[in-house]
Chain A
Amino acid sequence: MEYSYYPGCSLHATGVAYDKSMQATFKALDAGLIELDDWNCCGATAYMSVKETVAFTVSARNLALAERAGRDIVTPCSACWCVLNKTRMYMRKLPELRQHVEESLREAGMTCKFDLPVRHPLEVLVNDFGIDQLASRSVRSLNGLRVACYYGCQIVRPERALEEDQEVPMALENLLAGLGATPVPFSPKVRCCGGMLVATFESVARELTGRLVEWARVEGADCIATTCPLCQANLEVLQEGGNGEGTAKPPVPAVYFTQLVGMALGCSEREVGLHHNMIPLKFEFPQMEKPTTQHSPVSPLGKGGNRGVAEPAPTTEAASNV
């Protein structure tokens, strides 16, 4: 299997460990991850708030490049995923805006049909490879690792990367549990980390991440597994001094989910970039003795099973109907 890899700007800097662990994981799976040639910034949310056609054009250039390459785009950055996907959706729904964007693309001789899927690695790992296959290929176990699975906003809202409940997604729990980890109940898993507020209204971002960290700590999580470079950076940087120093309470490491998957698949700590993490993950990954047993999906209500709470309501029409 081959994919066009769109790392996005963060993965070349603060999110370097996400980049490394992505490449290592896909390599371990013998899947081709071919960096999209000459990709540009997706436009992110900062651009969206300035000029609309400009924002969509900047983003669309990447989609046009990917169409030329002819492979599905995989992007690990949740913000890039969200922006690229939004562009694709809007272009299909708003003919007038699309005309403007196409006209702008033509300035550099580019065209785009906007029908190539934009995918997130969480969804690719779960759907294209499958949890059972990942488990059967793993050489280390995540056995004993208590992990808070954190999705953040952008891969669940407004569009979903996976066909799942938007309030209680379970893919990450199922994936990591399939590799032996123990997901802890983590209700704020789709709550916002504050995103770019870290630069503009730091105290607000600190409050938001603080609540997430506290929740994970109370549940005794060894780490928070993230799917987004900004979530990961915020969770680490905002734990007071930046690496948890100076906090009365022990810091909770934040890792990329691909770092855990990569470790399970036998990559080295360096290959998955664990040395870039500011709060070290203290966990010895046990070697597998025997092939893993069949995984069973985790209940959305966590280990405790049904706590008398009704099944999560089906997603509203509002969500699927941009």
Chain B
Amino acid sequence: MPWPTGLESLPPEPGIFGKTEREMQEAFLAEIDRIPGGERLRRCIQCGTCTGSCPVSYAMDLTPREVVAYFRAGAIDMILRSRTIWVCASCYQCTTRCPAGIKITDLLYALKRVGFDQRAFPEKFPVYVMSETFVGQIKKYGRNHEAELLRKYFLKTGVMRMIKQVPLALRLFRKGRIKLTASKIRGIEGLRKMIARAEQLDEPRLVEEVQPLTRAVGYQAIG
């Protein structure tokens, strides 16, 4: 491992190392390229406002400021292996306060997408399972049926976790806050067609399409 990390306590080695660093960077830069204002990353002054504003930075291994720094140093796999991208609650506090106008939340979203594509997490990883289950719901009904979403989610991430939720579920049920039957939208067929088309369009693009400006990483990017 090239860097001293301090992250050794993290869950089992995520399976991202089959891909070369280069491939990862390209996938990532294609993502960054799509964020409006993505090129502003170069303007980070490492002031730490993002970290100081972040309500969950205490639970992160790399703080938002460090994520920006690691990105500029080209150490993208370090970021993908951190807990940070998964703990971010997307509250946008860092983004609205950053004096350099950097869209940190959107950057973290982009990293999350790359992390998903690279499967940069352990088996049954809650965030991944949640997203997958959620997407499944939309394809099935067009809407999210909360009760089914949570049941499937907890089943997939561990039966014990589900059992722990039973008392809460019962209380919610008694208060009339759990709907038992899912309703499907009438336009579900159309929605599925749209999603299928959009999925094709979401396939990673050729590297040639990426703007040369944002293709630079590391010190190249700082200029």
How many residue pairs between the two chains, A and B, have CB atoms under 8 Å in the bound complex? 213
CB contacts under 8 Å to A, within B73-109, are 86-87, 89-93, 95-103, 105, 109
Asked if A47 is at the interface (CB within 8 A of a chain B CB), the reply is yes
Q: Which listed segment binds B: A8-16, A113-121, A132-140? A: A8-16
Contact A41–B127 (Cβ < 8 Å): no
Candidates A56, A58, A157; contact of B191 at CB < 8 Å: A58
Contact A46–B202 (Cβ < 8 Å): no
Q: Given A43-B138, A204-B87, A276-B176: A317 and B131 within 8 A (CB)?
A: no
- Least Cβ distance of A211 to chain B in Å? 9
Chain B 194-221, CB-CB to A under 8 Å as 1, else 0, gives 1111110110000000000000000000
Q: Which listed segment binds B: A195-203, A249-257, A298-306? A: A195-203
CB contacts under 8 Å to A, within B138-179, are 138, 142-147, 150, 153, 167-168, 171-172, 175-179
Candidates B34, B109, B146; contact of A14 at CB < 8 Å: B146
Asked if B18 is at the interface (CB within 8 A of a chain A CB), the reply is no
Chain A 118-159, CB-CB to B under 8 Å as 1, else 0, gives 000000000000000000000000000000000001100110
Asked if A296 is at the interface (CB within 8 A of a chain B CB), the reply is no
Contact B138–A40 (Cβ < 8 Å): yes
Q: How many interface residues does chain A have, given as a range? A: 35 or more
CA distance A105 to B150 in the complex (A): 29
> Binding site of B, secondary structure by majority: helix, strand, loop or mixed?
helix
Chain B residue nearest to A101 (CB atoms) is: B198
Contact B126–A201 (Cβ < 8 Å): yes
CA distance A44 to B197 in the complex (A): 20
Candidates A44, A208, A318; contact of B95 at CB < 8 Å: A318
CA distance A275 to B176 in the complex (A): 9
Write out the residue numbers on chain A whose beta carbons fall within 8 Å of the beta carbon of B223.
none
Contact B89–A192 (Cβ < 8 Å): yes
Asked if B190 is at the interface (CB within 8 A of a chain A CB), the reply is yes
CA distance A278 to B174 in the complex (A): 10
Q: Given A38-B185, A54-B198, A200-B130: A237 and B168 within 8 A (CB)?
A: yes
Chain A 174-206, CB-CB to B under 8 Å as 1, else 0, gives 000000000000000011101111011100100
Chain A residue nearest to B188 (CB atoms) is: A40
Candidates B138, B190, B196, B202; contact of A41 at CB < 8 Å: B138
Asked if B119 is at the interface (CB within 8 A of a chain A CB), the reply is no
Contact A46–B134 (Cβ < 8 Å): yes
Asked if A284 is at the interface (CB within 8 A of a chain B CB), the reply is no
CA distance A196 to B195 in the complex (A): 23
- Least Cβ distance of A35 to chain B in Å? 12
Asked if B187 is at the interface (CB within 8 A of a chain A CB), the reply is yes
Q: Which of B99, B102, B103, B201 has the most CB of A within 10 A?
A: B201
CA distance A108 to B189 in the complex (A): 8
Write out the residue numbers on chain A whose beta carbons fall within 8 Å of the beta carbon of B17.
none
Contact A276–B177 (Cβ < 8 Å): yes
Q: Given A39-B185, A50-B113: A200 and B96 within 8 A (CB)?
A: no
Candidates B101, B112, B175, B194; contact of A49 at CB < 8 Å: B112
Chain A 21-61, CB-CB to B under 8 Å as 1, else 0, gives 00000000000000000111101111111111110111001
Asked if A103 is at the interface (CB within 8 A of a chain B CB), the reply is yes
Chain A residue nearest to B175 (CB atoms) is: A276
- Least Cβ distance of A272 to chain B in Å? 14
Contact A110–B179 (Cβ < 8 Å): no
Write out the residue numbers on chain A whose beta carbons fall within 8 Å of the beta carbon of B193.
107-108
Asked if B56 is at the interface (CB within 8 A of a chain A CB), the reply is yes
Q: Given A50-B135, A54-B202, A158-B96: A14 and B172 within 8 A (CB)?
A: yes
Contact B36–A46 (Cβ < 8 Å): no
Q: Which listed segment binds B: A89-97, A261-269, A285-293? A: A89-97
B interface vs A, CB < 8 Å? Answer: 34, 36-37, 55-56, 59, 86-87, 89-93, 95-103, 105, 109, 112-113, 116, 126-127, 130-132, 134-135, 137-138, 142-147, 150, 153, 167-168, 171-172, 175-179, 183, 185-187, 189-191, 193-199, 201-202
Sort A-B residue pairs by CB-CB distance and give the 10 closest, nearest first.
Answer: A108-B190, A192-B91, A157-B92, A318-B101, A46-B134, A104-B198, A153-B91, A107-B193, A9-B144, A13-B146
Q: A14-B146, A275-B175, A318-B98 are in contact. List 16 more A-B contacts (CB 8 A).
A: A16-B176, A38-B187, A41-B137, A47-B138, A51-B199, A52-B202, A54-B198, A100-B198, A108-B189, A110-B190, A157-B96, A195-B89, A197-B87, A204-B59, A278-B171, A316-B96
